[in-house]
Structure 1
Amino acid sequence: MRNIGVSALLAASIALMAAVQHAHAATPDTYLPATSAAIAAATSKIEDGKADVNGVRYHYLLAQGKPGSTPVVLLHGWASTSYMWRYVMPQLVARGYTVLAPDLRGLGDTSKPATGYDKANVANDIRALVAQLNLGPQIDLVGHDLGGMVAYAYAAQHPAEVRALAIVDVPLPGIEPWDQIVQMPRTWHFRFYAVQDVPEMLIAGHELEYLKWFHNSEAVNARAFTSEAEEIYAREYAMPGALRAGFEYYRAFPQDAQANQAFARTKLTMPVLGIGGAGSFGPIIGDHLRHVATNVEAVNVQGSGHWVAEEQPAAVTDALVRFLPPAR
């Protein structure tokens, strides 16, 4: 695991364990978090890797679970990297899941090509990575923000390869009520980031200040982002090409909308979970996903804005543990 994240990940996961135990003391043991010893053991299993797929050098975090267990693939969004899963990943590993958390094309420690940021293409990157790491033939797929858009494109293109799908606090381009969502004041950045060159010009050199403001503008739990986390994200988004790559995801929304409308003609039939922050897309995520899937559950997480896995990680971990089939 990257040195910048090991100690923070371990401490955060132990704190999460205590929070879940407090919140769910009366629930069956199945849903209680792992012990601190198990978390330490799980964290030690998480390793960095690099792999070349579809002309892109991908960075990923990977922990092997029980032999034969269906892998859980965690996809981050914009203003995040694989580091966003620091609370959730060790809990899943401690339960025996094999877990893969890549940095998406252009972001984090993954290379930053000029093109290829439509979600169907990025989904095929992730599929190629899964294949190269011999993690198939099926996966459980979890995506937040832009990662949720990529996760949907993966499942829609390769439904037989996705056993269960969780989409965390994001609407899908082109899917009702997308046209209304993109006109909301809180989605101002969809339009701003889509403008060619201007966002890069204005934010470059001010990544830390901008990301601190942006994270907190989208959060309900103001304590979710520590100074260490903000500095890690700022360093990764200050890397050459990272801002441009991130904004290319937004510039691809018209192409994504066309693809999603075609995908939605055949609804997904695997179990789908929508997790949303009550202060963000939580109130609508279930109805939204029912436009593209027939078997949908929804969780509306109280005390959270957009960054659900970082604002209320205990609730997200609990929802995923309840939803995902047990590790074999």
Structure 2
Amino acid sequence: MTSTDFPKPTLIPVNGVELEVFEAGRENAGRPIVLCHGWPDHAFTWRHQMPALAAAGYHVIAPNQRGYGNSSRPAEVTDYDIEHLSGDLVALLDHYGYRDATFIGHDWGAFVVWGLTLLHPTRVNKVINLSLPYQERGEKPWIELMEDMLGGDFYFVHFNRQPGIADAVFEDNTAQFLRNLYRKNQPPPEPQPGMALINLARAQTPLGEPIMSDSELAVLVSAFETSGFTGGINWYRNLDRNWRLLADVDSIIHQPALMIYGHRDPVARSENLAEFVPNVEVVCLDCGHWIQQEEPEETNQAILKWLDNRDDA
């Protein structure tokens, strides 16, 4: 699926906002799969998965979540916490009349899917997450923990402690930042002072190889030139709030789950995933962070094989 034949979106009112939603396989009503993108991304990230899932008999629903694309971008930072983000997805199911669905998330979308499953377990029947494993809720809030371990220039910490700084740099260098970010087979980064993503946004020369064609990249550039980056970065600014909001929920994911890692993804794998996700199967593909775009066929095969086995069970 190319940028020209990606589905046309619909704006759907949910949970006090509007989401820009892309669909495939509407004829498969009753078998919903909801695809949740990460940062800084777009529903377009699922362009390789949507036709394959529709062909396999699923009603595929891919929203631009709040803060992204032409979806609503509320002004309040706290409007991007896990209660709001998961509430949007619950309301999306209500819109279609679905009691539950299979959810697939990548990167921040995986965090939202894990959180949705904890907060609204009856609305999720299966979980498939890429890159980001379940994040254990320890004794210290996540941003505080990262600041202690990784310092103030680590991008999660920087987004929280210096609000607005990175947002402005990314918006001043939108096309260059996204071009430099969506790469594969980069050499190991050289240690350097400052905030790595700001340095990346200002870098004149990209490293490694592009994972998108120019026309595909243009879809993202156009979207972020319209939306800016603050809405998506506000997801990061709620991490400690999310830590508090998840304090009293059952911390175990009881649903069947598939975890797909990229072998060269810098995101750390979980050493104790099965403690919190006991019904998990793990697959590792030979790629970096942008798993479903770097290895689309292998990703589709892993997802469809796992779903077939669940449906046959």
Give TM-score, length-normalised by structure 1: 0.77
| 1:294-313 correspondence runs (5 A) | 294-302=278-286, 304-313=287-296
Distance 1:90 1:219 in 2: 29
Could you tell me the percent identity over the aligned residues?
23
Tell me if structure 2 keeps the 8 A contact 1:76–1:144.
yes
CA deviations 1:3-54 (Å, max 9, x no partner) are: x8234x5xxxxxxxxxxxxxxxxxxxxxxxxxxxxxxxxxxxx452111112
- Contact kept, 8 Å, 2:43 with 2:63, in 1: the verdict is yes
Residues 85-234 of structure 1 mapped to structure 2, 5 A cutoff: 85-115=46-76, 116-134=79-97, 136-175=98-137, 179=145, 183=149, 188-194=154-160, 195-216=162-183, 222-234=209-221
Deviates more, 1:92-101 or 1:155-164: 155-164
- 1:94–1:282 distance in 2 versus 1, CA, 3 Å: farther
Shift of 1:299: 1.0
CA distance in 1, matches of 2:148, 2:101: 31
Distance 1:182 1:130, change over 3 A: farther
Q: 1:266 to 1:70 in 2, by over 3 A?
A: same
Partner Cα separation in structure 1 for residue 296 and residue 129 of structure 2:
15
Decide whether aligned partners of structure 1 residues 56 and 131 sit closer, same or farther in structure 2, where only a CA change above 3 A counts. Answer: same
Do residues 74 (structure 1) and 35 (structure 2) align?
yes
Confirm whether residue 53 of structure 1 aligns to residue 14 of structure 2.
Answer: yes
Preserved CA contact (<8 Å) 1:278 1:301: yes
Whole-angstrom distance in 2 between the partners of 1:95 and 1:224: 25
CA distance in structure 1 between the partners assigned to 2:272 and 2:178 by the alignment = 28
Quote the RMSD (CA, aligned, Å).
2.9
Given candidates 284, 295, 298, the residue that maps to 1:315 is 298
Q: Which runs of 5+ in 2 are unaligned?
A: 188-207
Is the partner of 1:148 in helix, strand or coil?
A: helix
Q: Quick check: 1:272 aligned with 2:239? A: no
The answer to whether the 8 Å contact 1:64/1:97 transfers is: yes
Q: Secondary structure at the match of 1:254?
A: helix
Which amino acid is the alignment partner of residue 293 of structure 1? V
SS in 2 for 1:77: coil
In 2, Cα distance between the equivalents of 1:288 and 1:261? 19
Counterpart pick for 1:254 among 215, 240, 259: 240
CA distance in 1, matches of 2:32, 2:102: 6
Instruction: Give 1:289's aligned amino acid.
Output: L
1:101 alignment partner, SS class: strand
Contact 1:144 1:167 survives alignment (8 Å): yes
Q: Which amino acid aligns with 1:61?
A: F
Preserved CA contact (<8 Å) 1:47 1:61? yes
- Deviation (angstroms), 1:73: 0.4
- d(CA) in 1 for partners of 2:158 and 2:182? 16
Which AA in structure 2 matches 1:311? E
3-state DSSP of counterpart to 1:203:
helix
**Partner SS state of residue 258, structure 2:** strand
Displacement after TM superposition at 1:75 (Å): 0.3
- Shift of the alpha carbon at 1:119? 2.0
- Deviation of 1:283 after TM superposition, in Å, equals 6.9
Which one-letter code corresponds to 1:268 in the other structure? I
Counterpart Cα distance in 2 of 1:5 and 1:72: 21
Structure 2 CA distance for partners of 1:63 and 1:243, relative to 1, 3 Å: same
**CA distance 1:142–1:275, change in 2 (3 Å):** same
TM superposition shift of 1:173: 5.0
